[in-house]
Amino acid sequence: MLHATPSEAHSLPTADGDGSEIFGLDPALLPDLLRLRDWLLGEAARDETYTVMLPGLAERLAALGVPVDRVTTAIEALHSEYSGVGRMWTKEDGSSFRLFPHEQRDLAYSRSPFAYAHRTGEWLVLDLPNTPDDAFGIVPELKAAGYKHYVCIPVRFTNGSENGLTFTTYTPGGFDPRALSILRFVLPTIAASMEVRALNQRLNNVLRIYVGDEPHRAILAGRIRRGQVSRIRSAILFADMRSYTRITSALSPEAAVELLNDFFDCLVPPIEQEGGEVLKYMGDGLLAIFRDQGDDTGGTAQSALNAAVQGLVKLDAANRAGTFPTRIEAGIALHHGEAAYGNVGSGVRLDFTVIGPDVNLASRIATMNKVLGEPILMSRAFAEHLWGDPELIGRHPLDGIPEPVPIYRLRAVEPALATDLVLVDA
227-249: per-residue pLDDT in tens?
Answer: 888 888 899 999 999 989 999 99
The pLDDT of residue 314 is 97
Statement: residue 9 has pLDDT above 50: no
- First-to-last alpha carbon distance for the chain, in angstroms, is 76
**pTM, 2 dp:** 0.72
Q: Give the per-residue pLDDT at 61.
A: 96
224 torsion bin: left (phi>0), alpha (psi -120 to 50), beta (else): alpha
Task: Give the mean pLDDT of 369-374.
Answer: 88
Across 27-61, b (16+ Cβ under 10 Å) vs e yields eebeeebeebbebbeeebbeeeeeebbbbbbbebb
Residue 19, pLDDT score: 44
Across the chain, what does the average pLDDT equal? 86
Judge whether residue 414 has pLDDT over 50: no
Once rounded to an integer, what is the mean pLDDT over residues 268-281? 93
Tell which residue, 369, 410, 406, 405, has the closest CA to residue 388: 410
Q: Return the pLDDT at 279.
A: 87
Q: What's the rounded mean pLDDT across residues 128-151?
A: 95
Q: One-letter amino acid identity for 160?
A: G
Q: CA-CA-CA-CA torsion for 358, 364, 365, 370, nearest 10 degrees? A: 160
The residue ranges of every structural domain in the chain are 6-210, 223-418
What percentage of residues in the chain have a pLDDT greater than 70?
89
Q: Of 12-26, 310-324, 412-426, which gets the smallest average pLDDT? A: 412-426
Percent of the chain with pLDDT over 90: 55
Q: What is the pLDDT of residue 229?
A: 83
Instruction: Say yes or no to pLDDT of 8 above 90.
Output: no
Residue 305: exposed, middle, or buried by beta-carbon count in 10 A (0-12, 13-18, 19+)?
Answer: buried
Per the CB < 8 A criterion, the answer to whether 177 and 185 are in contact is no
Q: Residue 13 region, left (φ>0) first, then alpha (ψ -120 to 50), else beta?
A: beta
Note the pLDDT of residue 274: 95
The mean pLDDT value for 65-82 works out to 91
pLDDT at 151 over 90: yes
CATH H-level superfamily of 6-210 = GAF domain (3.30.450.40)
Check residue 370 and give its pLDDT.
84
- CATH number listed for the domain at residues 223-418: 3.30.70.1230
Asked whether the predicted pLDDT for residue 11 surpasses 50, the reply is: no
Higher-pLDDT residue of 200, 302? 302
